[in-house]
Amino acid sequence: MFLPESMSRIMVVGTKNRMDDAINAFYGEKVIHVIDHTTGDDGLSIGTSNSDVSKASERLLKIRALEKELGIKKRTLTEDIAVEDVRERISAGDVEIVEKEILSVVDTRNGLTQLISELNAKKETLELLSKLPLTLDFYSGYRSISVLVGSVTADPASLNLDAEIFASYDKKNGGVVAVFFRTDSRDAVSAALSEIGFTELQVPSCEAVSPADEIAKIDAQVAKAVEDIDAAEVQLLELKQKHRSFLKGTDEELAIQVEKGSVPLRLAVSKYSYVMDAWVPTSKVETVKQHLEEKLGDDVHIEVMEERSRSIEESEAQEPRFQTVPTKTTNGRVASEFEYATSLVSRPKYQEVDPTVFIMIFLPIFFGFMVGDLGYAIPFIVLGGYGLNKTKNKDWRAIALVLFLGGIWAALFGLFFYGEMLGMHFVGGHLEGGEWIWYHDNVAVGGTAVTWDWLLGEQFPEWFCNLIGHVNPEGTHTGVGKLEDVAFLLKLSVYIGLCHLFIGHMCGLYNKKIQHGFKHAFIEKGGVIMSFFGIIFLCFGLTDFMFNKADITEGLAFYTLVIGIVLLAVGTAINMKAEGALQAILGLPEHIGQILSYTRLAAIGMSKAGMALAFNYIVFSMVMSTSGTGVMQGAEEVIAFDPFAAPAMLILGIIMFCFLHLVIWTLAILSAGIHSLRLQFVELMMRFFEGGGVEYRPLNEARSKTFFKNKISNINEV
């Protein structure tokens, strides 16, 4: 659970003429992580890819282009298709037939789109020309006269030319001008026109029709083309329906074929044989060996080269390409969802503890402790549950799971520990001699704390009050106050931190023990752990002396101080040997920093409770109406909550209440989420985690759209 799975290195040697079968068999095992061959002086060379690969990748490109044309995306739902059918259709040339069918429609559609844009450009020109009182045949067909037609930006009335000018101009939209002039005066005309911002237009037709008639004709053509495009789109949609399953299935099958065909590039080959080095989980070695021998008979020889220990020295003694062992984590279903959080820092090495399980345990607890409110917890649980149900993306699943589990912890803490919902304690007073006494900070007696029993005008039953935790031994069942019992919460946070850090230090010790042996581990980590405990005892003694005015020369304070100083001295001495004097001494205050860092658990809870207190006071005691006539018995200042006295204020109050609590809830995701993650990443994982592991990627056919019709012909059989 804590260490990555133990791996063994195998070497597979086989005859080259059955390499394809062998690769299929390797894929069938699903546990073989190939070690890439690098050319050395062993007389072997890197293999060449399978001859079918180039054809398959060419087809794959075609298929992906077609999928793009038809808008078939990764998430498009399609029916699964049998591998046998796909293969049969590929070899029958169906890819090319489907391509032809789809591309002919696509080409038609593209041609029509181009036609429409051309027609629209023509229409724009004609719209300009329609402002002039000429039919289109007037613009050409002269021997000694030239015509310039175009748009202008300034008024053409200023033109003073020896020419016939037709113009239309308005200040807002510019104008159009047609100038008929003797061919030999072209230069003068061009110069004059350029001064009024002239841009020449090509007159499209030379028939004796007016531009307006021509526009009508073009409109009809555009309408027809649009109709044709719609028809082509419908046709494409039909083709998508018809071929999507085949296209996605073929995409998957060809991708697998290409991947399989490229495997020889990772192997070593000689003239007649191939050699493959691979990592296999130790527990699977015998099965793999047996399976491969069954499938390939005498054409294969498998040798188990080693079972790799966790010792760093042993790894470093190996050839470079065998030094790094892939990390196959051994987390269960729930824990593996948290691997995403670990991977945000790095992948664990083969030789170290995988922190995922600790993250799984502590991340939601810290989140819940910081939120600690039943009212906020329920939306977290609902949101998390919904996310887990809906999303398949592993990043979102990890976030949803944290929200879900964190929400459950928040509900538990909210109900049983803090006794709080939406920033309000359930209980705001207690019975004393049969009489109900409000606590002094309750809004009923002029305080600021709104409580649910005051709001509802009902006292909660005793059994319910007894469920809620309390700090004071006298037994006031309001729950632990985030703002009232600050000292207690701070102390609790520090104690939680001590446990958390202790786990981190112990993992560090364990890592070093498996990597280098106990002696090395003791020198490297033992000193740190001793000084960690030394600091704890020392601080305990000192705080007892400072805050509780305990006598430092006798009793508990004295003993803890002495133990602390001794541990600190021994720890620092060991550390000096491991890291040098400067590092050892500089490392001491770091322990205090790490421990105090956990006070954020209480501090963030406090900040949220503070905001909620203020918001609730505004909503219930300032916006919504209260009446002075008490319905509850008790102290003189009792006021009862009467929301119906002013309905408008009631509605305003409810809106404000929802909005303000939504603000706190959103902040809770950010602050509680980020800080609980930080405590794992920085405080816990930095005590032992190095990371930098290599991902375990066994040869495996990832099929989601295709399936084997016949179990006998599946990949386990060659």
Partner 1 sequence: MDPSQAGLVAIGAGLAVGLAGIGAGLGEKDIGAAAVGAITEDGSLFGKGMIFTVMPETIVIFGLVIAIMALFVL
Residue 481 CB, nearest approach to partner 1 (Å)? 13
Do 469 and 482 touch, CB atoms closer than 8 A?
no
Number of H helices, E strands in the chain: 23, 20
Q: How far is the C-alpha of 426 from the C-alpha of 62, rounded, in Å?
A: 66
Q: How far is the CB of 550 from partner 1 (least distance, A)?
A: 14
Q: CB-wise, 66 or 606, nearer to partner 1?
A: 606
Q: Which is nearer to partner 1, 317 or 487 (CB)?
A: 487
Nearest partner of 57 among 242, 264, 260, judged by Cα = 260
- In this structure, which amino acid lies at residue 234? V
Classify burial at 81, counting beta carbons within 10 Å of its beta carbon; exposed 0-12, middle 13-18, buried 19 or more.
Answer: buried
Using CB under 8 A, which of the segments 2-10, 198-206, 272-280, 681-689 binds partner 1?
Answer: 681-689
Selection from 127, 114, 118, 126 nearest residue 205 by Cα = 126
Q: Name the percent of the chain in helix, strand, coil, to the closest 5.
A: 60, 10, 25
Q: Does 600 bind partner 1 (CB under 8 A)?
A: yes
Candidate ranges 378-386, 461-469, 516-524, 672-680; the one touching partner 1 (CB under 8 A)? 672-680
CB of 667 to partner 1, least distance (A): 16
Q: Which member of 304, 578, 686, 718 binds partner 1 (CB under 8 A)?
A: 686
Tokens of 523: 């020198």
Closest separation in Å from C-beta 703 to partner 1: 27
Beta strands 694-695 and 326-327: pairing type? parallel
| Contacting range for partner 1; rule: CB under 8 A; set: 433-441, 470-478, 558-566, 594-602 | 594-602
As measured in angstroms, the least distance from the Cβ of 600 to partner 1 is 6
- How many of the other CB atoms lie within 10 Å of CB of 379? 16
584 with 527: CB under 8 angstroms? yes
C-alpha to C-alpha distance for 708 and 605, rounded to whole angstroms: 55
User: Is 402 an interacting residue with respect to partner 1 (CB under 8 A)?
Assistant: no
User: What is the distance between the alpha carbons of residues 457 and 434, in angstroms, rounded to a whole number?
Assistant: 17
* For partner 1, the closer CB: 546 or 645: 546
Interactions with partner 1, residue window 346-375 (CB under 8 A): 346
**DSSP per position, 150-194:** EEESS-GGG---SSEEEEEEETTTEEEEEEEEEGGGHHHHHHHHH
Q: Are 70 and 275 in contact, with CB atoms under 8 Å apart? A: no
Q: Which stretch binds partner 1 (CB under 8 A): 72-80, 371-379, 452-460, 593-601?
A: 593-601
Answer yes or no: are the C-beta atoms of 630 and 640 closer than 8 Å: yes
Question: Is 481:455 a contact under the CB 8 Å cutoff?
Answer: no
Could you tell me the two tokens for 221?
């053509």
Binding to partner 1 by CB under 8 A, coded x per residue (else -) over 204-243, reads: ----------------------------------------
Cβ 596 to partner 1 shortest distance, Å: 5
CA distance 298 to 278: 20
120 Cβ contact list (under 8 Å, min separation 6): 222
Residue choice 103, 678, 703, 716 for contact with partner 1 (CB under 8 A): 678
User: Smallest distance, Å, CB 486 to partner 1?
Assistant: 6
Nearer to partner 1, 609 or 639 (CB): 609
- When asked if residue 490 is in the footprint of partner 1 (CB under 8 A), the reply is yes
Print the binding letters for residues 544-573 with partner 1: x by CB under 8 A, - otherwise. --xx--------------------------
- Give per-residue burial for 256-282: e unless 16+ CB within 10 Å, then b: bbbbbbbbbebbbbeeebbbbbbbbbe
Site map (CB under 8 A) of partner 1, residues 496-535, x = contact: ----------------------------------------
Of the pair 267, 602, the CB lying nearest partner 1 is at: 602
In the numeric block, which tokens belong to residue 94? 């169906």
- Min dist. Cβ of residue 645 to partner 1 (A): 37
Stretch that binds partner 1, among 207-215, 349-357, 443-451, 679-687 (CB under 8 A): 679-687
Decide whether 412 or 677 has the Cβ nearer to partner 1. Answer: 677
How many chain residues bind partner 1 (CB under 8 A)? Answer: 21
From the list 157, 206, 226, 344, which residue makes contact with partner 1 (rule: CB under 8 A)? 344
Nearer to partner 1, 651 or 682 (CB): 682
How near is the Cβ of 546 to partner 1 at its closest, in Å?
A: 8
Dmax (CA) of the chain: 125
Q: What burial class does residue 687 get, using C-beta atoms within 10 Å of its C-beta: 0-12 exposed, 13-18 middle, 19+ buried? A: buried
Place of tokens 């990555």: 4
Interface pattern 603-642 for partner 1 (x via CB under 8 A):
x---------------------------------------
**Secondary structure E strands in 354-419:** none
> Toward partner 1, which CB reaches closer, 537 or 689?
689
* Phi, psi of 13, deg, nearest 5: -120, 135
DSSP state of 685: G
Q: Which amino acid is at 553?
A: T
Run of H or E residues at 275: strand 273-281
For residues 179 and 189, give the distance between their C-alpha atoms in angstroms, rounded to a whole number: 8
Scanning 233-241, 348-356, 383-391, 598-606 for contacts with partner 1 by CB under 8 A, the matching segment is 598-606
In the bound complex, what is the minimum distance in angstroms from residue 602's beta carbon to partner 1? 9
Q: In the range 419-458, which residues lie near partner 1 by CB under 8 A?
A: none
Query: Nearer Cβ to partner 1, position 147 or 490?
Result: 490
CB of 346 to partner 1, least distance (A): 7
Show the binding pattern over residues 470-489: x = contacts partner 1 (CB under 8 A), - = does not: ----------------xx--
| Token couple for 50 | 């399978």
Please state, in angstroms and rounded to a whole number, the distance separating the CA atoms of residues 72 and 66: 8
In angstroms, give the least distance from the CB of 677 to partner 1: 7
Binder of partner 1 out of 476, 599, 621, 625 (CB under 8 A): 599
**596 is an interface residue for partner 1 by CB under 8 A:** yes
Determine the interface stretch with partner 1 among 29-37, 138-146, 268-276, 337-345 (rule: CB under 8 A). 337-345
Q: Which of 317, 586, 651, 682 binds partner 1 (CB under 8 A)?
A: 682
Binding part of the chain for partner 1, among 10-18, 77-85, 131-139, 343-351 by CB under 8 A, reads 343-351
- Closest separation in Å from C-beta 366 to partner 1: 14
Residue with Cβ nearer partner 1 (662 or 682): 682
Give the CA distances from residue 711 to residues 68, 246, 639, 707, 708, in Å, rounded to whole numbers and listed in that order: 33, 21, 77, 10, 6
Q: At what angle do helices 527-547 and 581-597 cross, to 10 degrees?
A: 60
* Contacting residues toward partner 1, per CB under 8 A: 343-346, 486-487, 490, 546-547, 593, 596-597, 599-600, 603, 674, 677-678, 681-682, 686
